[in-house]
Structure 1
């Protein structure tokens, strides 16, 4: 429960003081002078953090802002980074933590919402934003928990930095660097999502999208893959090898089919070189996977011919080549349907014998 005296003292200045250490009393001139950097550099740093430009004399900053600016200046002076690289590092932190902060405030507001009020809302009143009581409770709770959450944030970043460095070192092949690293790229797309949006309230839609993202992320990471991004009804994921990608795709289809809240999902995958920038992946392989997904049936998985060939030598999976199609921006592609093989790896292990190889079949194309 939120006490009235807590809400009465809730303000932007008080929250800033609790979360940042002290209230905002410094102007940019004060911050730049204390950090021993120019006003221009201070403005670039603030903008890289994702915040709008303010006037030089506006008291918008705290000592925490000055310490952060000093840390960036130190990166340039002592770590021998050029300013553009240091600002790019700052921008990477900012974009990631902005999404993290919004995500966490929404989660906390939903967790602290009054169930009776939630049940009383009809379709006309359904909103994506929390009610005032839940927003106040979430603000106070997050401010109280910030010190406890901060070590988890640092731990998660260091863990993911370790994994990213390991992948970079593994990918450091001079023969492939010109074309990009080789990855299996997959898209998972909820079927009939547009029609569902028209029939659902915003709260119902939020619950469905959140469940889809949670289930999909768990499946992808369980097989050693990475979720690159989610866009409402669709996720983009990558794996290094073909077998984990096939397992991810089939698990996604089966899990969504068994879930009463979610519609069927369709998956399209392709393998080839990708370019990795800004935490995202780009290139023809990504475009091919996206176009293949658009022609995949609900509850089905389609793969390109290169991935079908890679899976042909693996037990546990089988593919069937379908008719050749012309995909916009890609050209002629012969997708194959991916299924679990009967009597594959799991059945063979249960019988105590060696894994059997699936038979790859094909349809004649017109």
Structure 2
């Protein structure tokens, strides 16, 4: 169908149909281009019904649509890459010279992945709905817990942490695209598993860095120390450094913003390789907890933040450690100490 057919069938204007299409994140098409199906019409009808029955105003309905679009776009790209890697011919991959190793699949692998994903779509769709409903329930629970009339207008209180792979820039220059992809994927899998195991949330990953939040101080400390210890025991990954701060954050578009986030980021940039730095407020919160200790370092001025006295976080003697091997296994990753075919381990104990 053309867009005119879709808008007519959904009983909405062409303008509203265009707004919906843009909110889904797709490029402009001509009104008479026959590129739409009944599924497009049903989706537009569903959004129009929400607005017509005053469940949502148009602005909110389009924002909801945009949220679905941005999330599912990243999901679809992620899954196609995973399937292409899974469908690659191991013998052909092993025969590639390092100079020829590319992160882009060859045509045969891409075609095989396309057929496989198309065949599996009906089986994967219920899993998507299930995961969304579980995460929606968790998000509603957090929203209700945060709904305190005494809460600061600046935002909800969270512990914010950044974990950053040390010496990543020099590694990028020495590794092939395929080796880099393997390393980044492993880092994301291990880090995500550690954060979620302690009840935290991964806000986003950007190549060599992961941003996470927790509600309380103890889980944040456990996450940070487990990240450092797990990466230190992994032969493929370089060390990480972690910076954390506690305070109000503003949550928008699935991300977090504010001075607390900036302070944690700046602390990460000055943390030593394999070390964890926390701000004054978090050090004070951890002082009352067993299993952790903090040591105040020299006062320093952080760019855009001002004077801060960071503290180094460590486990006390006898504090429980999370096995890096167990984390690797839970993440479904390659066991620590092994190296994927066609990749080389990163140099250990890289300097900051």
Tell me the TM-score normalised to structure 1 length. 0.87
Determine the structure 1 residue equivalent to 2:100. 125
Shift of the alpha carbon at 1:123?
2.5
Describe the superposition over 1:17-48 as per-residue Cα deviations: whole angstroms up to 9, x where unpaired: xxxxxxxxx11000000000000000000000
3-state SS of 1:259 partner: coil
2:93/2:342 contact within 8 Å kept: no
Alpha-carbon distance between aligned partners in 2 of 1:116 and 1:159, rounded to the nearest angstrom: 40
Describe the superposition over 1:149-177 as per-residue Cα deviations: whole angstroms up to 9, x where unpaired: 00000000000000000000000012215
Sort the Cα spacing of 1:353 and 1:96 in 2 relative to 1 into closer, same or farther, 3 A: closer
Shift of the alpha carbon at 1:68?
0.4
Describe the superposition over 1:196-238 as per-residue Cα deviations: whole angstroms up to 9, x where unpaired: 0000000000000000000000000000000000000000000
1:1-366 equivalence runs, <5 A: 26-344=1-319
2:295/2:313 contact within 8 Å kept: yes
3-state SS of 1:332 partner: strand
Gaps of at least 5 residues in structure 2 are 321-331
3-state SS of 1:229 partner: strand
Sort the Cα spacing of 1:175 and 1:364 in 2 relative to 1 into closer, same or farther, 3 A: farther
3-state SS of 1:348 partner: coil
Sort the Cα spacing of 1:289 and 1:149 in 2 relative to 1 into closer, same or farther, 3 A: same
Shift of the alpha carbon at 1:305?
0.5
Sort the Cα spacing of 1:217 and 1:69 in 2 relative to 1 into closer, same or farther, 3 A: same
Q: Number of residue pairs matched? A: 337
Q: Which has the higher contact order (CA 8 A, sep 6+)?
A: 2
Sort the Cα spacing of 1:312 and 1:117 in 2 relative to 1 into closer, same or farther, 3 A: same
1:189/1:267 contact within 8 Å kept: yes
Describe the superposition over 1:70-100 as per-residue Cα deviations: whole angstroms up to 9, x where unpaired: 0100111124311000000000000000000
1:269/1:292 contact within 8 Å kept: yes
Alpha-carbon distance between aligned partners in 2 of 1:317 and 1:356, rounded to the nearest angstrom: 39
Structure 1 segments of 4+ aligned residues over 6 angstroms from their partners: 347-359, 363-366
Sort the Cα spacing of 1:356 and 1:111 in 2 relative to 1 into closer, same or farther, 3 A: closer
Alpha-carbon distance between aligned partners in 1 of 2:69 and 2:96, rounded to the nearest angstrom: 35
Sort the Cα spacing of 1:93 and 1:342 in 2 relative to 1 into closer, same or farther, 3 A: same
Alpha-carbon distance between aligned partners in 2 of 1:193 and 1:269, rounded to the nearest angstrom: 20
Alpha-carbon distance between aligned partners in 2 of 1:293 and 1:256, rounded to the nearest angstrom: 16
1:224/1:244 contact within 8 Å kept: yes
Alpha-carbon distance between aligned partners in 1 of 2:56 and 2:93, rounded to the nearest angstrom: 51
Alpha-carbon distance between aligned partners in 2 of 1:246 and 1:354, rounded to the nearest angstrom: 29
Deviates more, 1:307-316 or 1:171-180: 171-180
Shift of the alpha carbon at 1:179?
1.3
Shift of the alpha carbon at 1:103?
0.3
Higher alpha-carbon Rg: 1
Sort the Cα spacing of 1:133 and 1:352 in 2 relative to 1 into closer, same or farther, 3 A: closer
Shift of the alpha carbon at 1:285?
0.1
2:187/2:237 contact within 8 Å kept: yes
Alpha-carbon distance between aligned partners in 2 of 1:351 and 1:232, rounded to the nearest angstrom: 20
1:324/1:333 contact within 8 Å kept: yes
Alpha-carbon distance between aligned partners in 2 of 1:350 and 1:265, rounded to the nearest angstrom: 18
Shift of the alpha carbon at 1:49?
0.3
Describe the superposition over 1:303-362 as per-residue Cα deviations: whole angstroms up to 9, x where unpaired: 0010000000000000000000100000000000000011457x9999999999999xxx
Shift of the alpha carbon at 1:300?
0.4
Sort the Cα spacing of 1:207 and 1:349 in 2 relative to 1 into closer, same or farther, 3 A: closer
Aligned alpha-carbon RMSD (Å): 7.7
3-state SS of 1:227 partner: strand
1:344/1:357 contact within 8 Å kept: no
Sort the Cα spacing of 1:80 and 1:198 in 2 relative to 1 into closer, same or farther, 3 A: same
Shift of the alpha carbon at 1:365?
24
3-state SS of 1:314 partner: coil
